[in-house]
Amino acid sequence: MRSFLDVPADSPFPIQNLPYGVFSRDDGSDPAIGVRIGDQVLDLAVLEERGLLDAALKGVRVFNQPTLNAFMARGRLVWQAVRARLQDLLSAEGDPALREDDELRDVALVSVAAVTMHLPAAIGDYTDFYSSRQHATNVGTMFRGPEKALMPNWLHLPVGYHGRASSVLISGTDIVRPKGQQKPEDAPPLFGPSKLLDIELELGFFVGPGNDIGTPITMAEAPDHIFGFVLVNDWSARDIQKWEYVPLGPFLGKNFATSISPWVVPYDALAPFRIEGEPQTPEAGNPEPLPYLRQDEPRSLDLTLDVLLDSAAMREANTEPARVARSNACYLYWSPEQQLVHHTVNGCNARPGDLMASGTISGETPDSYGSFLELTWRGSKPITLPSGEERKFLQDGDRVVLTGHADSEDADGPYRVGFGEVEGVVRPARGG
């Protein structure tokens, strides 16, 4: 499948991807919903107005809106119908309604350089999991020793905590260094800007229709409730977190900012990248999950994930960002489906637009760790940047960029499905 539009061969946004996002044009028009194809955005509100999506949407209007929530609520059969219809309209050999209408293309297609991206959903709730075994092992080893690295429950259920939806930010939003209490080893608590500001490389997903309260989502139903995926950077103040987290877990060390990428990659677009993952079986040395968490189909995703960093000095010198880590979503022990199923097993109701994130994704080698806490091993092994600067944790002026992609091939040749990026620049703490 190839588009009639000129999509560069190495673009992460080919016709096989078609991620959804909320954008506004530079002419000041209201936000609307579009899909990205190459370096252009296809305005779905325009196609909807022209009646080109009526059959797929069954006559319901959902795209001339500032969020994807209404479309997310429609369910997987509608998502699949719309996706198939868009691929037909964008295909080099499909429905010519868009391909042969110059006026329609002029109205419906806009360069990504001429739009501003917004949060893709009104996020009612945000939950962050702790689903990477290597990350949990690394952190446990640092703070409890290798013998007690994993807590007794970790291999039996997807551990998570409820985050703060109000501070979920779109990529490109500056991150103000948080203030809070910190506890030196041999002194009373003090208050001030975090000195141990960190990132967390994560994969997140948006909930689709959701479930009624008291009615859990089963493993068989889970794919019908996962709309699509984004990259997540869960900024973390490690010194604030360390002092506060016992006994109830993360609070102010986490809730000040969580950044997400603007393009939501559809669940079905990632089907070619499903792989088996680490077996959850006694034969592999792991306890078998309880029946409600057992997942027969491949659990993992083969997605390459990169962490890039540049300092203010590097940008001033026009130095390319340094890649400080490369990981992969395959290192998640607990899958998105298992995360969602466990979240609702007690009858908790998930709603359209709810965001759930994987927790930090870390691989098996030091250069694949998804946080500076691990990359520098609590600051004992600083990273040296191309500028000669060293980093244990983030400094003011640092810019962090997370990217993700997966490669595949079809009858027409290789293609790449990507997420774009999620980035943020650290700004100094504010006074007061």
Catalytic positions are 135
Question: What are the phi and psi torsion angles at 403 (to 5°)?
Answer: -130, 160
Whole-number Å distance between alpha carbons of 59 and 46: 15
Write out the chain in H/E/C secondary structure: CCECCCCCCCCCCCCCCCCEEEEEECCCCCCEEEEEECCEEEEHHHHHHCCCCHHHHCCCCCCCCCCCHHHHHCCHHHHHHHHHHHHHHHECCCCHHHHCCHHHHHHHEEEHHHEEEECCCCCCCEEEECCEHHHHHHHHHHHHCHHHCCCCCCCCCCCEEECCHHHEEECCCCEECCEEEECCCCCCCEEEECCCEECCEEEEEEECCCCCCCCCCCCCCHHHHEEEEEEEECCEEHHHHHHHCCCCCCCCCCCCCEEECCCEEEHHHHHHHEECCCCCCHHHCCCCCCHHHCCCCCCEECCEEEEEEECHHHHHCCCCCEEEEEEEHHHECCCHHHHHHHHHCCCCCCCCCCEEECCCCCCCCHHHCCCHHHHCCCCCCCEECCCCCEECCCCCCCEEEEEEEEEEEECCEEEEEEEEEEEEEEECCCCC
CB atoms within 10 A of CB 1: 16
Whole-number Å distance between alpha carbons of 390 and 394: 10
Whole-number Å distance between alpha carbons of 340 and 108: 35
Enter the tokens of residue 420: 């774009």
Whole-number Å distance between alpha carbons of 293 and 289: 6
The distance from CA 249 to its chain's CA centroid, rounded to whole angstroms, is 22
Query: What is the distance between the terminal CA atoms of the chain, rounded to a whole angstrom?
Result: 57
Contact 288, 156 (CB under 8 A): no
Contact 180, 252 (CB under 8 A): yes
